[in-house]
Amino acid sequence: MRAFIVDRYGTGDLRAGEVPEPEVGAHDVLVQVHAAGVNVLDAKIRKGEFKLVLPYRTPFVLGNDVAGVVVRVGARVRKFKPGDEVYARPDKDRIGTFAEFIAIGEDDLAIKPERLTMAEAASIPLVGLTAWQALVEIAELREGQKVFIQAGSGGVGTFAIQLAKHLGATVATTTSTANIELVERLGADVVIDYRTDDFENVLRDYDVVLHSLDHKTLQKSLRVLKPGGKLISISGPPDPAFAKQLGKPWLLRPVTGALSHRIRKAARRRQVGYSFLFMRANGTQLGRLTSLVDSATIKPVLDRVFPFESTNEAMAYIETGRAKGKVVVRLKPEELS
């Protein structure tokens, strides 16, 4: 099958080539890929930024979002059947959506939202699960609380704003002048143009911050939280709980502890909590997001759709940091999906 492959870690292009179709285990579902989301995470993996915690053995197929059709199921699969239209963020150990087929564990998969095209559906799993796990699972965001979601026009930001509004929160975000109208349309109550204002001078007594930017912004984020608030970062540094999540606490706890020592200490001084989130695959949570999408409570924001042959161009576009919402590569014409 055709695929885009990482032959060695670095900044070069992915190699377009042929690889064997994946094996299908008893609890696996073989999906014919119709569309695949392209994420900043893909660029970071290719560069080797996660080699310590996610040591993929080269060569490997890249890609972390998928929408497609079930073509075969394992002997013990009960939730899905051939012909089902599905979407998923594969488990971190089984990525590879930049290919014609991928085998995914049954529990990581969900039925695709009916109202969406394959390209739209492929834009959701990674950012949707990130937003859900940050705001619902970790923050336990409630009606009447205030949440600051950074980079509101990005993939995670556009989804998280809508989810936070659904949960009844007041939402603040940062964006550029050109994207103010977009984030306001998504539901942001307080919009800060990062080119003219500093959020630290505007926001006070927030319950939750969803951080996705650099270390300087992380430090400043502590100062907009009230005591008892929660700082949740998806861009690091990783904490010891992350080592436990990976199942390697004895190996990685000292490293993650050292990397996050300063921010955790600063958080304790301000009586707030710090958590690092590396989103995990979860078909049940994705199914809950499906309901919100099918009811039009949340709508995906799709910037550009590239043909599969232009996957390297899609990766380059993601790395510019200018995408509004998500970028997708499409393998099948929508009329065939």
Q: Which residues contact 316 (CB under 8 A, 6 or more apart)?
A: none
Domain boundaries, the chain: 2-124+300-336, 127-276
- Please give the CATH number for the structural domain made up of 127-276: 3.40.50.720
Strand partners, 273: 230
Which one-letter DSSP state was computed for residue 203?
A: -
Exposure b/e, 138-173, CB count within 10 A at least 16 = b: bbebeeebbbbbbbbbbbbbbbbbbbbbebebbbbb
> Amino acid identity of 208?
V
The 10 Å CB-count burial string (b at 16+, else e) for 48-58 is bebeebbebee
Domains 2-124+300-336 and 127-276 in one fold:
no
Task: Pick left, alpha or beta for residue 8 (phi over 0 → left; psi -120 to 50 → alpha; otherwise beta).
Answer: beta
Phi-psi region of 325 (alpha: psi -120 to 50; beta: other; left: phi over 0): left
Angstrom distance (rounded) from CA 296 to CA 115: 9
- Residue 192: what residue type? I
- Give the side-chain half-sphere CA count within 13 A for 133: 21
| Pairing of the two strands 109-111 and 85-88 | antiparallel
Tokens matching residue 62: 């890249």
pTM: 0.96
Tens digits of residue pLDDT in 245-293: 877 666 677 888 888 999 999 999 999 999 999 999 999 999 999 999 9
Tokens of 55: 């040591």
Q: Under a CB-based contact definition with an 8 Å cutoff, are residues 127 and 285 in contact?
A: no
At 128-160, the pLDDT tens digits run: 999 999 999 999 999 999 999 999 999 999 999
CATH of 2-124+300-336, one of 3.90.180.10, 1.10.3720.10, 3.40.50.1400, 3.90.1820.10: 3.90.180.10
CA–CA gap between residue 264 and residue 259 (Å, rounded): 10
- 92-104 pLDDT, tens per residue? 999 999 999 999 9
- pLDDT, one tens digit per residue, over 209-218 is 999 999 999 9
